[in-house]
Each structure stands twice: as structure tokens, then as C-alpha cells.
């Protein structure tokens, strides 16, 4: 039985083959520029080469001279810069559809090329008329428009198949990254606001340390999706051990212990000591987010 991934890959291959087939079909549409030519006018016939046409070695060479015909003169035959189109410069001397002679092209020949020369006077109607407009595929640039559209469709289909096969993993990873950045921005903004209040004297040093402890506990509660508001310093050694295989538990214990000892000491707390603890809290939060993945329970 086909697995889900193999089934998606088979659908992509089938759709790409259909789109590529449309591009190959469009590549065979030749056109003349300008689209409307009259007797004696010089023009160009552009013949796009498909992927199956072998290219000649080196430049086009005509040892016996350019191909000749009674009703049309071929002045020049050349390849464009990308070697994907043959450009034939000609001058016709009668109206209607004129067949070009076979054109040597390396090891093969280009046959069945024709141009349409318009008549100023329509003898049947006795009025001035123009030749009918060229078809849609004969318009200049149509091939590249179809190729670009086909490529866009292929990329969209590939994206759909990729999302069907691994959409859960991609979205989960993106959501975890976004959640980590939001949490880091949130805690940094809260700590910056607390530092400003401390520097302007709007909150005392001991109250600032109390608020700092509460902010870090709120951050850990959001990050681990477990209530950490009433945890003492020693309890963080146990809860952090379930989410980390590094020094985060010891760092949390040391931070909250230092914060509590400074708050409840009999000596006063200097503004420099409180600011240093705020800076340490910022560094600790950043380290937690960078070294630990978002818990599965939080997703």
C-alpha cells in the first residue's frame, strides 16, 4: 500500500508533468513581428525551439548561401542570445500565406515555416481591410508568460504537498519560535519598566526586589505552564529539573536565594545591588529561552 508521503509525491509528479507538457506545447508557437506585414515590408519570423530540437555546434553556417524562394527573400537567420529561438529576417512580395523554404539547422532542417502577408485592398469586398489578428499563442512573450505561470503553479503544488506531509512539524516549530520571542519581549519590557521606576525613586529597593521575584515567577509560570508564584528557591531545583538538562535549576535556585537574602536582610539594599539583580534576571530569562525548548504541555 502507498504511504501518505508517496501518494503526495505521486500527485506532484503527475501535476508537474501536465504543466510541463503545456509549456512544451507553447514553446512550438512561432510568430512574426510586426504581426501585420504588407508586400515589400521587412519583418522577422521568430521560431521558439523546444527541448527536443538539437542545437548546432557553434554559430549558424550556410555555405551555399541563405535559402531561396520565388516570393520571399531571407536576409538573415540567427539564434538569440539564449539559443532558444531562431530569428529569420525576411521580405515578402505577395499576399497571403507564404511557405518558407527548408532551413538547414545543424544536423536537421526547420520545415513548415510560413508567414502571413496582409492585403491592403480586399478584392471581394472592395474596401480597405487588414489581415485577421494573430492567435493568442502567437503573441510575443506568450511562451515566457506560460512558463512563469507553470512554474508558479508547480511551486504552489509543491508547497501544498509539503504542508500535507510535514505540516504539523513545520507549524509546531514555527509556533514554538514565535512563543519564545513573545515571552522574551514580554519579560524584557516588564523588567525595563521596573528598572526605570527604581532609578526614578518611585519604588524602594526592597519593594523592587519583591516585584522582581514576582515577575520572574510569572515568566516561569507562562513558560512551563505550571504555577510557580508560591515556589520558594529550593522548589525551583525540582521543577526546573524536569525541563532542563543543564545548569538552569542551579541558576534559578541561586538567583531566588540571593534575591530573598537581600530583601530580608537587616542591612539596607543599595540601588546598585537592586539594579544588578535586575540585569541578572534579564540574562537568566534569555538563557532559559535559548537553552530549553518549549515544553510539550505548553503547545
Residue pLDDT, tens place only, 53-94: 777 776 777 877 888 888 898 988 888 877 778 889 999 888
Place of cell 539564449: 82
Query: Rounded CA gap, 114 and 112, in Å?
Result: 6
DSSP state letter for 191:
H
The values of phi and psi at residue 98, to 5°, are: -115, 125
52 with 84: CB under 8 angstroms?
no
Place of cell 520571399: 72
DSSP track, 193-207: HHHHHHHTTSS-HHH
The pLDDT score that the predictor gives to residue 244 is 54
pLDDT at 192 over 50: yes
Distance from the Cα of residue 220 to its chain's centroid:
36
pLDDT at 101 over 50: yes
Question: pLDDT digits over 194-248, tens only?
Answer: 988 888 888 888 888 888 888 988 888 888 787 888 888 888 777 665 655 567 7
Write the CB contacts of 216 (distance below 8 Å, at least 6 apart in sequence): 187, 255, 256, 281, 284, 285
> Which band of pLDDT confidence, cut at 50, 70 and 90, is reported for residue 127?
very low
The average confidence (pLDDT) of the chain is 76
Count CB atoms within 10 A of the CB of residue 99: 13
194 is written with which cell numbers?
A: 521596573
Place of cell 512550438: 28
Distance from the Cα of residue 99 to its chain's centroid:
46
pLDDT at 299 over 50: no
Instruction: Report the percent of the chain where pLDDT is more than 70.
Output: 72
CA-closest candidate to residue 47, choices 29, 61, 22: 29
| Mode of pairing for the β-strands spanning 72-79 and 42-48 | unpaired
Q: How many CA atoms lie within 13 A of 126 on its CB side?
A: 0
Q: For the whole model, what pTM was predicted?
A: 0.40
Calculate mean pLDDT across residues 166-174: 63
Three-state DSSP class for 115?
strand
Ranges of each domain in the chain: 36-132, 168-298
Query: Rounded CA gap, 161 and 150, in Å?
Result: 16
Query: Rounded CA gap, 19 and 155, in Å?
Result: 11
229 is written with which cell numbers?
A: 508564584
Angle (nearest 5°) at CA 134 between 130 and 135: 145
100 with 73: CB under 8 angstroms?
no
Question: pLDDT digits over 128-157, tens only?
Answer: 445 555 555 555 566 778 888 888 998 988
Secondary structure of 34-100 as H, E, C letters: CCCCCCCCEEEEEEECCCCCCCCCCCCCCCCCCCCCCCEEEEEEEECCCCCEEEEEEEECCCEEEEC
Question: pLDDT digits over 39-51, tens only?
Answer: 888 889 898 887 6
Amino acid at each position: 500500500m502507498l504511504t501518505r508521503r508517496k501518494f503526495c509525491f505521486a500527485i506532484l509528479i503527475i501535476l508537474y508533468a501536465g504543466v510541463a507538457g503545456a509549456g512544451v506545447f507553447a514553446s512550438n508557437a512561432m510568430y512574426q513581428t510586426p504581426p501585420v506585414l504588407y508586400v515589400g515590408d521587412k519583418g522577422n519570423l521568430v521560431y521558439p525551439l523546444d527541448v527536443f530540437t538539437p542545437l548546432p555546434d557553434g554559430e549558424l553556417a550556410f555555405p551555399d548561401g541563405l535559402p531561396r524562394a520565388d516570393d520571399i527573400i531571407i536576409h538573415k537567420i540567427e539564434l538569440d542570445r539564449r539559443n532558444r529561438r531562431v530569428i529569420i529576417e525576411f521580405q515578402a512580395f505577395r499576399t497571403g500565406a507564404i511557405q518558407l523554404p527548408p532551413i538547414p539547422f545543424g544536423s536537421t532542417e526547420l520545415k513548415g515555416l510560413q508567414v502571413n502577408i496582409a492585403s491592403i485592398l480586399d478584392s471581394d469586398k472592395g474596401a480597405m481591410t487588414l489581415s485577421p489578428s494573430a492567435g493568442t499563442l502567437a503573441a510575443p512573450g506568450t511562451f515566457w508568460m506560460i512558463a512563469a505561470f507553470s512554474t508558479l503553479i508547480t511551486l504552489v503544488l509543491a508547497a501544498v504537498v509539503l504542508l500535507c506531509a510535514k505540516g504539523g512539524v513545520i507549524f509546531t516549530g514555527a509556533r514554538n519560535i514565535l512563543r519564545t520571542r513573545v515571552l522574551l519581549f514580554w519579560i524584557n519590557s516588564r523588567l525595563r519598566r521596573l528598572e526605570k521606576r527604581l532609578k526614578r525613586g518611585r519604588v524602594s529597593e526592597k519593594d523592587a526586589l519583591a516585584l522582581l521575584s514576582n515577575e520572574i515567577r510569572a515568566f516561569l509560570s507562562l513558560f512551563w505552564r505550571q504555577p510557580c508564584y508560591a515556589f520558594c528557591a529550593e522548589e525551583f531545583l525540582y521543577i526546573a529539573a524536569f525541563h532542563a538538562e543543564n545548569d538552569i535549576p542551579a541558576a534559578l535556585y541561586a538567583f531566588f536565594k540571593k534575591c530573598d537574602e537581600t530583601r530580608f536582610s537587616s542591612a539596607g539594599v543599595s540601588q546598585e545591588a537592586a539594579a544588578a539583580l535586575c540585569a541578572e534576571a534579564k540574562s537568566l530569562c534569555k538563557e532559559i529561552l535559548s537553552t530549553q525548548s518549549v515544553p510539550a504541555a505548553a503547545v
